[in-house]
Amino acid sequence: MKEETKIKIRNWISKHGDGKRSKLILFLTSFADSSFSPIPPDVFLIPVLMSEEARKKWWEYSWVVFIASIFGGVVGYGIGFWFFSLFGEKIINFYHLQNAFLEVSGFFSQNAFLAVFVGAFTPLPYKIFTITAGLFKIDFIVFLFASIMGRGIRFFLVGFFMKLFGERVTNTIFKYFKIVTLLAIAILVLVIFA
């Protein structure tokens, strides 16, 4: 996403973040990200939580994003499971994610739980993981548990950090989000397999 677009989104959300529609926007964005949209919910969640009033409700906003993401992930799983040739393949081709799809397929053959968890926690396109999990008919309970763990940790951490530091860390989070989450997942993998 271009820097100019990010700035426009942040400014718009900062201005309207306390409005009644902010939770609906967060829900829809998070749901769509998990199954077909290229916009990660963090792009909306972080600016919404920049306002002092919203930071007091960080837990509530994090829940909205988390629940919507899980529902969206289930839809993504269903797309892969039942409708891959009809919708799933088109979504992957539309976003030019063919190489990512092949890589994710390899991850699933090694450790399905870890593959879904990594997709849910990191800034990698989660929709690739949800659709692929359905296509390969990964055990749904494993998929759901890994999604709940990964998405829960991710969004509640973002909400908690915004509550603690607010606007002071917003630019840093936007700038280094990928690096921080990839480092965190590397540490987690070392802890699990060490």
What pTM was computed for the model?
Answer: 0.74
What token pair was written down for 139?
A: 């055990």
Written as tens digits, the pLDDT of the chain (194 aa) is: 456 665 665 566 556 555 567 788 888 888 988 887 777 777 777 777 776 777 788 888 889 999 999 999 999 999 888 987 777 777 777 767 677 777 777 777 788 898 889 888 877 778 888 988 888 888 999 999 999 999 999 888 888 888 877 666 656 655 665 665 566 556 555 544 44
